Amino acid sequence: PRQPSSSASSSTTTTTTALQRRPRASLPTGAPASSAPASTSASRSSVSSTATTVASFREINEMNRRPASRAGPQQRVPWSNKDTHRLIRLIEHHNCLWALIAKRQVAAASNLGAGYGGDSFEEREDCVFDHPRDQQAIRDKARNLKVDLLKADLNLYPGFDGIALGKKERLALISRGKNPDRREGDVDAAGEPTHTEYVPLESDDEDDEL
């Protein structure tokens, strides 16, 4: 038989060697050596964060179910008779400047707390509230006082003309037949209140008919 040539044998050997030494396909730059561990790690991280979030919301829900604390400034403190009389005098002196009244209360209370008295009206006339009140609380109490006086047909105190009544207060007085627009000067020769009863205006009657 015919012997293979040396050149053919050399070619076959070279091809076999090249196949054996061919390197593995290179991965893209920056890609992880194995995507499986990364996927597992991300999955574990997601599960962990989800569990933490659920636990956090459970704690928040539990906190929201708890009743609100009644301690501290949220607790309502009724007005004492002494503080009510002080407010009446403050309205006479400062009119219905609620922000000013509240601001001067803070200053006067601070002076008394420091152990020295000033020369303000509040300190000289014993008009510092036993319990501190803000602007809104002072205004609301003044409104309630005026409504009580109008309901009982009593004289209005000086400065009470400036206390504006809201729609709710006006309707409450009208439903009792009382005049919500009575003034301080509505008094007779003996000093007794007049115009205490509510009298509908003609325009009001016309509106009702329409």
pTM summary value: 0.62
70 in a structural domain: no
Q: Give residue for tokens 């729609």.
A: 167
Q: How does pLDDT run across 194-204, given as a tens digit for each residue?
A: 999 999 987 66
In sign, the C-alpha dihedral spanning 75, 78, 83, 88 is positive
Specify burial of residue 187 (Cβ count, 10 A radius: 0-12, 13-18, 19+): middle
3-class DSSP assignment, residue 197: strand
Q: Give residue for tokens 């704690």.
A: 59
Instruction: Write out the two tokens for 102.
Output: 């509240």
- 105 is in which domain, residue-wise? 81-209
Q: For residues 195 and 170, is the Cβ–Cβ distance under 8 A?
A: no
H-only helix segments in 22-97: 35-65, 81-94
22 in a structural domain: no
119 in a structural domain: yes
| Whether the predicted pLDDT of 74 surpasses 80 | no
Q: How does pLDDT run across 117-133, given as a tens digit for each residue?
A: 678 999 999 999 999 99
Instruction: Write out the two tokens for 197.
Output: 């009863």
Q: Give residue for tokens 């009208």.
A: 174
Residue type, 170: R
23 in a structural domain: no
Q: How does pLDDT run across 75-124, given as a tens digit for each residue?
A: 789 999 999 999 999 999 999 999 999 999 999 999 888 877 678 999 99
Q: What is the tally of structural domains in the chain? A: 1
9 in a structural domain: no
Instruction: Write out the two tokens for 59.
Output: 């704690």
What does the DSSP assignment read for 102-116?
A: HHHHHHHHHHHHHT-
